[in-house]
Amino acid sequence: IKQPAARDAAWNETHAWGAREMERVICDFGGFFRKVGQIMGTAKQMMPPAYLESFARTMDANPPTPFPVVKRVVERSLGCALSERFSRFDERPLATASIAQVHAATLRDDGRDVVVKVLVADKKMMIGDVASMLHTSIALKRVGLDNGVDFPTVFRAYQSVIEHEFDFNVEARKISEFREVFETHGLSDRVATPRVVDELSGARVLVMERVRGVKVLDALNRARRRGRVPRLPSRARDGVFHTVFRAWGVMLLRHGHYHSDPHPGNLMLRRDGKLAILDWGQTQIAPASYRAHLCRLVIHMCAEDPRAIANEVRTRSQVKLERPTTEALTALCYAYFDTRPSALAEINMFDLNNSPFLRNKIVQNTEEGFFTIRTVFLLRGMMRACGVTASMVSSWERDARAAL
């Protein structure tokens, strides 16, 4: 099609069809496919609008598991009937995600409002989904259809962590760990984690005090339906993301263990103004050597020193480009390890005519750093949707220097 307007119309029609089909696949298959949808649903800078709308609808809205199944799981975990522990237990879930669904309830003994997170996913199926995607990505890479991104490394990274999400005892311990981290680093007045009711929680059921507020996902979805950014004063928007930057800087650079799934369904603005970080199932350990590498990279990026940035990547990073020029490595860092406006980050990697990765392929991706990049990617997408422009790395310089 030679006429630009007609070509654009044809593409829009194709995208609308493709988005509907992909939403159907995600809803039909569930499991790990929903995690892919979570990533792409925040990629406002890279995805056509039709896909953003479809993926956003899948984030916190899995088809619910029937309540009799949920009840059976909870009662097995408690060792008693629901009515013995809860005076109220809503059959309709508050949220349904890739692995678990969440129900509101009230404790019988003290009347506290709680949420009950119930493991409902099939572990073997979820692990099988990742294995299938890995095998597919390997085949695509062999025939040159991976757009120069090295997707096999990405799926190997997921393979290495997914099993940990199926034990809520681990998640409960992490919630306590990170509450102490935020208290130690002076962030407890701005950042909150849910409080676990330990005596009612187990490997498949996690009971927590209910957090009241507005999920960032809900605010974004309402704004998207109206075709505008969320209604919030710019100072408040900037303040929220400054808190996000500080929290992740402390976790990643100072503590060496961080929440690696900050999609908008996992962030809530509480009524008291605190940022509540939800769903601690997916976290990552940053080994000391990797953390030191990131700290040096932060300092070089804040100084805007291209040679130092490129040298750090060449000598310390697992990422390998076909042509590792100073310009290419520097652009890669600012695009995928920072949230500032970046021409590279705005390019659709699936655009076969313009994707820079087809001209300078990623020969080897980073399994170690993938979840760090994913975290930045999710936060960048949220910022774009909220109309916020800021550099996360600039907020991290103090933490980087302290950690070194």
The string of pLDDT tens digits covering residues 197-248 is 999 999 999 999 999 998 887 776 666 566 665 555 555 667 888 999 999 9
Q: What is the pLDDT of residue 153?
A: 85
Q: What is the pLDDT of residue 355?
A: 62
Q: Which of 36-50, 155-169, 219-233, 351-365 has the highest mean pLDDT?
A: 155-169
Q: What is the pLDDT of residue 243?
A: 94
Span 324-332, mean pLDDT? 92
Task: Give Cβ neighbours of residue 33 (< 8 Å, ≥ 6 apart).
Answer: 25, 26, 129
Q: How far apart are CA 218 and CA 229, in angstroms?
A: 12
Which amino acid would we find at residue 227? G
Give the pair of three-digit tokens for residue 290: 């990797």
pLDDT at residue 179 tops 90: yes
Q: What is the pLDDT of residue 343?
A: 63
Contact 65/30 with Cβ under 8 angstroms? no
CA distances from 334 to 246, 253, 279 (A): 18, 17, 28
Which pLDDT band holds residue 69 (cuts at 50, 70, 90)? very high
Instruction: List, as one string, the DSSP characters of 264-327.
Output: GGGEEEETTSPEEE---SSEEE--HHHHHHHHHHHHHHHTT-HHHHHHHHHHH-S-EESS--HH
Tens of pLDDT, residue by residue over 269-288, are 898 889 999 999 999 999 99
Q: How far apart are CA 166 and CA 99, in angstroms?
A: 8
Which pLDDT band holds residue 109 (cuts at 50, 70, 90)? very high
Which pLDDT band holds residue 183 (cuts at 50, 70, 90)? very high
Q: How far apart are CA 249 and CA 399, in angstroms?
A: 6
pLDDT at residue 336 tops 80: yes
Tens of pLDDT, residue by residue over 18-36, are 989 988 888 887 777 777 7
Give the pair of three-digit tokens for residue 199: 């005596």
Predicted TM-score (pTM) of the model is 0.83
| Eight-state DSSP code of residue 143 | T
Q: Lowest-confidence range among 53-67, 71-85, 330-344?
A: 53-67
Q: Lowest-confidence range among 43-47, 235-239, 250-254?
A: 43-47
Span 113-139, mean pLDDT? 91
Q: How far apart are CA 359 and CA 148, in angstroms?
A: 8
Tens of pLDDT, residue by residue over 257-269, are 999 999 888 999 8
Q: What is the pLDDT of residue 8?
A: 84
Residue found under tokens 């710019």: 234
Span 381-392, mean pLDDT? 84
Q: How far apart are CA 34 and CA 397, in angstroms?
A: 34
Q: Provide Rg for the chain, Cα atoms.
A: 22
Span 292-310, mean pLDDT? 97
Instruction: List, as one string, the DSSP characters of 61-124.
Output: BPPPPPHHHHHHHHHHHHTS-HHHHEEEE-SS-SEE-SSEEEEEEEETTT--EEEEEEE-S-HH
Q: How far apart are CA 141 and CA 136, in angstroms?
A: 9
The residue among 404 and 141 whose pLDDT is bigger is 404
Give the pair of three-digit tokens for residue 260: 């690696």
Q: Which of 252, 183, 241, 210 is nearest to 89 (CA)?
A: 210
User: What are the b/e assignments for 76-114, b being 16+ CB within 10 Å?
Assistant: ebbeeebeebbeebeeebebbbbbbbbbebebeeeeeeb
Span 338-347, mean pLDDT? 72
Q: 196: helix, coil or strand? A: strand
Q: Lowest-confidence range among 66-80, 149-163, 333-347, 390-404?
A: 333-347
Q: What is the pLDDT of residue 345?
A: 60
Q: What is the pLDDT of residue 83?
A: 96
The residue among 238 and 398 whose pLDDT is bigger is 398
Residues annotated as catalytic are 261
Q: What is the pLDDT of residue 41?
A: 65
Q: Percentage of the chain surpassing pLDDT 70?
A: 86
Q: What is the pLDDT of residue 318?
A: 87
Domains of the chain, residue spans: 4-57
Q: Which of 86, 94, 28, 91 is nearest to 61 (CA)?
A: 94
Q: Which of 66-75, 96-105, 148-157, 229-238 has the highest mean pLDDT?
A: 66-75
